[in-house]
């Protein structure tokens, strides 16, 4: 399960993994991050229902072995993937994140849920159209066989070939502030 993410500790310099480890163990001495701690860790407070659903989906995507906790390896694998992974690896991760019920396809309801939660967290993204219009536009563009669901191939190829969708997707999971938190949380004498 989850071992095909292609992201390992070796993807990072020792310095980074050391910093991430310090940060992780400071925030989470037990070494296992629960959903509650995960939200605290990423500074997610007072979430609306749809943003909470999105954060929960993100949590389960990090929790690759589905035991309800994020351990350090899962945390590093997810972060290094999001921050430095190849496009293909990232798209595979996004696809898993968006396919909320794990059916292997992204349907319109799943896409709508994601768009709404992204907008709740990043109000400026796609603000010029309604979530419904945006979902329609995505399906028009990348649901190649028109069956109302996005297969993994349609999703990865569609996103890669569309500059605007790629940018929106990348910005929706902009982890800059998380990286700043990670770097800012390291004591000077480390
Ligand atoms: Ca886990
Ligand atoms: Ca699905
Ligand atoms: Ca399709």
Global pTM reads 0.64
> Is there a single domain that holds both residue 24 and residue 95?
no
Determine which of 99-113, 118-132, 152-166, 173-187 has the lowest per-residue pLDDT on average.
173-187
> Is there a single domain that holds both residue 78 and residue 119?
no
> Is there a single domain that holds both residue 78 and residue 125?
no
CATH of the domain at 63: 1.10.238.10
pLDDT at position 129 is: 84
Which of 94-103, 115-124, 132-141 has the largest mean confidence? 132-141
* Mean per-residue pLDDT, 96-119: 86
| CA 112 – ligand 2 centroid, Å | 12
> Is there a single domain that holds both residue 147 and residue 167?
yes
| 48-86 per-position pLDDT tens digit | 777 787 778 778 878 888 899 998 888 877 777 777 777
**Is 189 within a domain?**
no
**Is 45 within a domain?**
yes
> Is there a single domain that holds both residue 73 and residue 129?
no
For residue 107 the two structure tokens come to 């349907």
CA 124 → CA 19, 50, 71, 94, 119, distances in Å? Answer: 32, 17, 33, 20, 7
Residue 96 exposed, middle or buried by CB count within 10 Å (0-12, 13-18, 19+): middle
The ligand placed nearest to the CA atom of residue 68 is 1
The ligand placed nearest to the CA atom of residue 70 is 1
The ligand placed nearest to the CA atom of residue 154 is 3
pLDDT at position 28 is: 79
The ligand placed nearest to the CA atom of residue 106 is 2
| CA 104 – ligand 3 centroid, Å | 11
> Is there a single domain that holds both residue 37 and residue 99?
no
Supply the range of the domain harboring residue 69: 9-85+175-182
For residue 152 the two structure tokens come to 């993994």
**Is 160 within a domain?**
yes
> Is there a single domain that holds both residue 97 and residue 145?
yes
| CA 103 – ligand 2 centroid, Å | 4
Residues with CB in 5 Å of ion ligand 1: 63, 65, 67, 69
> Is there a single domain that holds both residue 109 and residue 119?
yes
**Is 190 within a domain?**
no
**Is 74 within a domain?**
yes
| 4-58 per-position pLDDT tens digit | 444 444 455 566 667 777 777 887 788 888 998 888 877 777 877 777 877 787 7
**Is 1 within a domain?**
no
Q: Quote the number of domains for the chain.
A: 2
Is residue 150 within 8 A of residue 142, CB to CB? The reply is: yes
| CA 3 – ligand 1 centroid, Å | 12
């Amino acid at each position: 399960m989850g071992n095909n993410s292609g992201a390992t500790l070796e993807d990072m310099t020792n310095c980074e993994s050391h910093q991430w480890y310090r940060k992780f163990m400071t925030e989470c001495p037990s070494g296992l991050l629960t959903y509650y701690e995960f939200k605290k860790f990423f500074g997610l407070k007072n979430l609306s229902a749809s943003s909470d659903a999105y954060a929960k989906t993100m949590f389960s995507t990090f929790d690759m072995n589905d035991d309800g906790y994020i351990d350090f390896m899962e945390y590093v694998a997810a972060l290094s993937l999001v921050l430095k992974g190849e496009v293909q690896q990232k798209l595979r991760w996004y696809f898993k994140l968006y396919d909320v019920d794990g059916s292997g396809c992204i349907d319109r309801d799943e896409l709508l849920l994601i768009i709404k939660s992204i907008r709740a967290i990043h109000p400026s993204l796609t603000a010029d159209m309604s979530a419904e219009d945006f979902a329609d536009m995505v399906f028009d563009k990348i649901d190649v066989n028109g069956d109302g669901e996005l297969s993994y191939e349609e999703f990865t190829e569609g996103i890669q070939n569309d500059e605007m969708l790629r940018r929106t997707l990348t910005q929706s999971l902009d982890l800059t502030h998380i990286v700043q938190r990670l770097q800012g949380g390291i004591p000077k004498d480390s």
